[in-house]
Chain A
Amino acid sequence: MMKMKFYHLIFVFGLVPILYANNFSQLSIRASIGQGSYKMTDLHDLLDEIIGDYAAEGIALEATSDFPAYYTTQIQLLKYITPKYQIGLVWQHRSTGARLHYSDYSGSILIDIFVNSEAAGFKNIWTVSNRGKLKFESYLQLSGIFSNLHFSNEITVFDEGLKDEFTLKSIGIGIEPGISTTAVLSRLSISLNLGFQQCFSRPLHFTSNKEATLRVHNREATADWSGPRTGVSVGFSF
């Protein structure tokens, strides 16, 4: 379920002054939807560790979802500094997750790990060439990443149930170089992009205690969003 979060408000109330300050000239806004694949090495290890622990108890947990590639959404507010160079703000949202499950006649174990992140940063776009209405561009996106991991473990045996859940957070940075092509149709434009984001994150820590971090295989775990990115965006020039 979509929830209004604090940083959404910051984005909205930060965007409005910017637009007014520039009097909307040379500004364009793009909404992009794409797909990202995420490395999530530590969290894969976390799944393996949980499966191994339960297997030692004789319970054959199985990962029915395993941090798959999933949709990403992104809003970009760009301004032409020169005819071939744009710079702007970018806000990106992405999510993925995993599920470990086992059930028989007597009960079930359901472990859901939901992880998402908000990435806010700057995006630089260089127009490499113009071929009529098509522009070929390269870009470099720098962003701060705010990751959330929600873990829930629900065990039900006959009529008795036990649920345990907690949330972890971490911050990091990401750098995403890529290329794109944009078709300009009057004020509207449609772009396709392909890139790769490399992320550097701090360890995931509990919300109640930042010193308490998630450890997997005796090391601090991170939410590693690194991976290739593709997307399609629709822009509007003011």
Chain B
Amino acid sequence: MNLRNILVTSALTIIFLNGCEYTPTGTNHREIIIEEPSISININNAVEEIYVWGTKQMDYSFSLENRSLELVEFYLGDDLIYTSGQAQGSFFFNSKQYPSATYLFSIFGYANSGTGSLADIFGAEKLIFELAIPCIIDNEPPAPIEFVDISVSNNQLSLMWNKYNGGPFMRYRLMRGKNVGTSYMSETEIATLGNPMDTVFIDPSYLGGDAYYRIILVTENGPGMGDFFHFQTAKPGFLDTQDIYLSAIELRWNACTFEQNFGRYTLYRDGDKIFETTDMLDTVVIDNSAQFGDEIEYILETKPEVLGSPIFSVLDTIEKFIGVRTENLSKLVYNESLGSFYTYSYGELRRLEAGTFQTLASLPIESEAAYFCFGISPNGEIAYLLRFWQDQGYLLKVDPLSLSVEEIFTTNSLLGYNGRGMNNGISVSNTNSIAFPSFRETNNQNWGAGVVLLDMNDPVWYETFNQGYATIATISGDGQYLIAYESLYSIGDHTRTLIANLGGPGIFRDDGSQLIVINANNISVYQSSGFLNIREIATPELLRYPMMDPATGYLGGHCRENEKYLIYNLDSGVRLFEIPVQSFGRYSLYHSNLYCNNFYLPLPDSEND
């Protein structure tokens, strides 16, 4: 065997040894069916939009069907605001760094694909999901909400408004207002409702009348101030009633109809409480302490059972008075013979028909009112007036019916000084004599006050009573007597003779045949001739400003201490009327009426007369 064969054999051996090399084979391929993933994304339970205000906690969760979330990114617009690797969690979003507007809130999430494939396992295959939802950032105060209905049902006031559907709700504040003046509304909170679903409120404070309501919607972004809504129903208020009393005032009012809310009535007279009741149907009060001579302000306050704020009280005011209101009859003079009143006001002397107060005649005449005096003789035929104008005193004789001026004198021409009359007026006799208290200031000499007696048939002045203070000067109708300075004089031909010191004011009865003297506790009736005492009538106190009604002959006077006006029948000595009056005021008894200011009280026929 040669070498060549050996080598060939060796080569074949090597080939043989290595000719059957094993090679692993086989495959294991899996078919994977990829199903559409079902993923749910929740962000603050929002459905169509996210409403954000202030710093908002954003709660999120993702249901990924056994997939593992790797990363989720939250964007507001293009701004990345939060990232997380958790499928559920929350974060705080400060919306105040963005202007209030609607943005796009986007969520981008990355999870494994969940197919179970190699790529899924090795992270080369991802499931990417996203959600875009409008995000409304609202950091502005809310728009106010208004009432949709305010009505009364079952005697209760029901307020209803639209539910607030916006964000950061905190509460409804229900306010009730009341006009204070013309431009200011005082308001009080009557309810706070913390549930936005509460949109109806029964007002337990409403008792009728005017009420103003509004809702303040309070949110975390501030309040939304609603406008006041005015609501009105009939309120508990005074009814017009006619007085039927000489010494009392009847007050009636319509009852409150809100029985559930009613608390009490309180009645005030000139600011003082005079009546209170919790009986809703007790609506009549007779005020027995009312006084004649001025109007009285009554206030009816109706208060609710609950809620003590004063603005919930319903107030009604009425001016009531005893008697009848008329025009202001200042410087009133009455003449029974003519059935006329004379009054001076606003620069005009007028003659009025008694009973109707119809103007029968008038005379424009300028005078300082304080010094204007008018007098008429009892028979109604002679009338004089004193005026003082531009520092000059005048005496005018006027026609009692037409008030036309018949004669004009200056006081200086009659008296020798620039005299003027006093409030107490002029007394005129049927014989054309006059007497009046006079005031003079012509010079320091003879300065003061006195009484002037003039016979106008032959006017001669003489100074009789310069005692330095004013008084009442009354001349009898027949012209024979004069009362001045609480003394009785007889009048002769330019003479006067003292008959008696009366000790009190005196007035003539009839034409002067009788004399009535008023003392501290009695009324004395005298026969003028001879000053003979006829009758004494006891009085509780001094009757001030005594006056005899020419129509009835009754004597009336003002008892200041007892605040009464007493009227007596001089013939019988019976006290006919006791009328409550105020301690101040000037009262006049004319024509069966008691007058004061712009009121008069018709006196009924006396049964005792």
B21-A107 in contact (CB<8A): no
Contacts of B19 in A (CB 8 A): 2, 73
A2-B21 in contact (CB<8A): yes
- Return the CB mask of B258-283 against A: 1 if under 8 Å, else 0: 00000000000000000000000000
- Return the CB mask of A62-75 against B: 1 if under 8 Å, else 0: 10110010111111
Distance from B112 Cβ to chain A, minimum over Cβ atoms (Å): 11
Cβ of A136 within 8 Å of any chain B Cβ, yes or no, is no
Contacts of A68 in B (CB 8 A): 22
Distance from A68 Cβ to chain B, minimum over Cβ atoms (Å): 8
Contacts of B115 in A (CB 8 A): 106
In the complex, A56 Cα to B174 Cα: how many Å?
67
Q: Which of A111-119, A168-176, A190-198 contacts B (4 or more CB under 8 A)?
A: A111-119
Main secondary structure, interface of A, reads strand
Contacts of A98 in B (CB 8 A): 24
Main secondary structure, interface of B, reads loop
Distance from A150 Cβ to chain B, minimum over Cβ atoms (Å): 10
Cβ of B101 within 8 Å of any chain A Cβ, yes or no, is no
Partner of A113, one of B15, B24, B30, B121: B24
In the complex, A160 Cα to B122 Cα: how many Å?
11
B22-A102 in contact (CB<8A): no
Q: Which of A11-19, A122-130, A139-147 contacts B (4 or more CB under 8 A)?
A: A11-19
A64-B124 in contact (CB<8A): no
B14-A99 in contact (CB<8A): no
Partner of A238, one of B1, B11, B22, B117: B1
With A8-B17, A24-B1, A158-B119: A99-B25 Cβ-Cβ less than 8 Å: yes
B14-A8 in contact (CB<8A): yes
In the complex, A15 Cα to B9 Cα: how many Å?
10
Contacts of B10 in A (CB 8 A): 11-12, 15-16
Partner of A114, one of B17, B24, B118, B122: B24
Cβ of B16 within 8 Å of any chain A Cβ, yes or no, is yes
Partner of B28, one of A70, A101, A107: A101
Partner of A75, one of B16, B24, B121: B16
In the complex, A33 Cα to B32 Cα: how many Å?
44
B20-A70 in contact (CB<8A): yes
A70-B17 in contact (CB<8A): no
Near A by CB (< 8 A), chain B positions 1-18 give 1, 3, 6-7, 9-11, 13-18
Cβ of A108 within 8 Å of any chain B Cβ, yes or no, is yes
Contacts of B116 in A (CB 8 A): 58
Distance from A17 Cβ to chain B, minimum over Cβ atoms (Å): 10
Cβ of A29 within 8 Å of any chain B Cβ, yes or no, is yes
With A12-B13, A15-B10: A101-B121 Cβ-Cβ less than 8 Å: no
Cβ of B78 within 8 Å of any chain A Cβ, yes or no, is no
- Return the CB mask of A139-166 against B: 1 if under 8 Å, else 0: 0000000000000000101101000000
Contacts of A114 in B (CB 8 A): 22-24
With A16-B10, A114-B24, A116-B22: A106-B29 Cβ-Cβ less than 8 Å: no
A95-B25 in contact (CB<8A): no
Cβ of B26 within 8 Å of any chain A Cβ, yes or no, is yes
Distance from A153 Cβ to chain B, minimum over Cβ atoms (Å): 13
In the complex, A109 Cα to B15 Cα: how many Å?
33
A64-B32 in contact (CB<8A): no
With A16-B3, A16-B6, A106-B118: A95-B22 Cβ-Cβ less than 8 Å: yes
In the complex, A157 Cα to B121 Cα: how many Å?
10
In the complex, A17 Cα to B356 Cα: how many Å?
177
B17-A93 in contact (CB<8A): yes
Q: Which of A2, A91, A105, A158 has the most CB of B within 10 A?
A: A105
With A59-B121, A102-B28: A97-B13 Cβ-Cβ less than 8 Å: no
B18-A102 in contact (CB<8A): no
Contacts of A107 in B (CB 8 A): 117-119, 122, 124
Contacts of A106 in B (CB 8 A): 115, 117-120, 124-125
A71-B27 in contact (CB<8A): no
A101-B14 in contact (CB<8A): no
A-B contact count (CB 8 A): 132
A75-B17 in contact (CB<8A): yes
A102-B118 in contact (CB<8A): yes
Residue of B at shortest CB range from A29? B9
Cβ of B36 within 8 Å of any chain A Cβ, yes or no, is no
Contacts of A105 in B (CB 8 A): 31-32, 117
In the complex, A38 Cα to B121 Cα: how many Å?
35
Contacts of B27 in A (CB 8 A): 64, 101, 103
In the complex, A176 Cα to B15 Cα: how many Å?
24
Residue of B at shortest CB range from A35? B20
Partner of A158, one of B3, B20, B23, B124: B124
Residue of B at shortest CB range from A5? B18
A97-B23 in contact (CB<8A): yes
Cβ of A57 within 8 Å of any chain B Cβ, yes or no, is yes
Contacts of A87 in B (CB 8 A): none
Contacts of A2 in B (CB 8 A): 14-15, 18-19, 21
Contacts of A155 in B (CB 8 A): 118, 122
B18-A103 in contact (CB<8A): no
Distance from B354 Cβ to chain A, minimum over Cβ atoms (Å): 125
Cβ of A214 within 8 Å of any chain B Cβ, yes or no, is no
Near A by CB (< 8 A), chain B positions 103-129 give 115-122, 124-125
With A71-B20, A106-B118: A61-B28 Cβ-Cβ less than 8 Å: yes
With A104-B32, A157-B119: A112-B24 Cβ-Cβ less than 8 Å: yes
Near B by CB (< 8 A), chain A positions 9-31 give 11-12, 15-16, 19, 24, 29, 31
Distance from B370 Cβ to chain A, minimum over Cβ atoms (Å): 121
Distance from B37 Cβ to chain A, minimum over Cβ atoms (Å): 16
With A12-B10, A29-B9, A103-B27: A95-B21 Cβ-Cβ less than 8 Å: yes
Contacts of B14 in A (CB 8 A): 2, 4, 8, 11-12
Contacts of B7 in A (CB 8 A): 12, 16
Distance from B7 Cβ to chain A, minimum over Cβ atoms (Å): 8
Cβ of A3 within 8 Å of any chain B Cβ, yes or no, is yes
B124-A104 in contact (CB<8A): no
Distance from B321 Cβ to chain A, minimum over Cβ atoms (Å): 106
Instruction: List 25 A-B pairs, Cβ < 8 Å.
Output: A11-B10, A12-B7, A12-B13, A16-B10, A19-B1, A58-B116, A59-B121, A60-B30, A64-B26, A64-B27, A64-B28, A68-B22, A73-B17, A73-B20, A97-B22, A97-B24, A101-B27, A102-B118, A103-B28, A104-B30, A104-B117, A106-B119, A107-B124, A116-B22, A158-B119
Question: A59-B121, A72-B20, A106-B124 given. 9 additional CB < 8 A pairs?
Answer: A2-B18, A4-B14, A64-B24, A64-B27, A73-B20, A95-B22, A99-B25, A103-B29, A104-B32
- CB-CB nearest 7 A-B residue pairs: A64-B26, A106-B119, A99-B24, A62-B28, A71-B20, A95-B22, A2-B18
Residues of chain A having any CB pair with chain B under 8 Å: 1-4, 8, 11-12, 15-16, 19, 24, 29, 31, 33, 57-62, 64-65, 68, 70-75, 91, 93, 95-99, 101-109, 112-114, 116, 155, 157-158, 160, 238
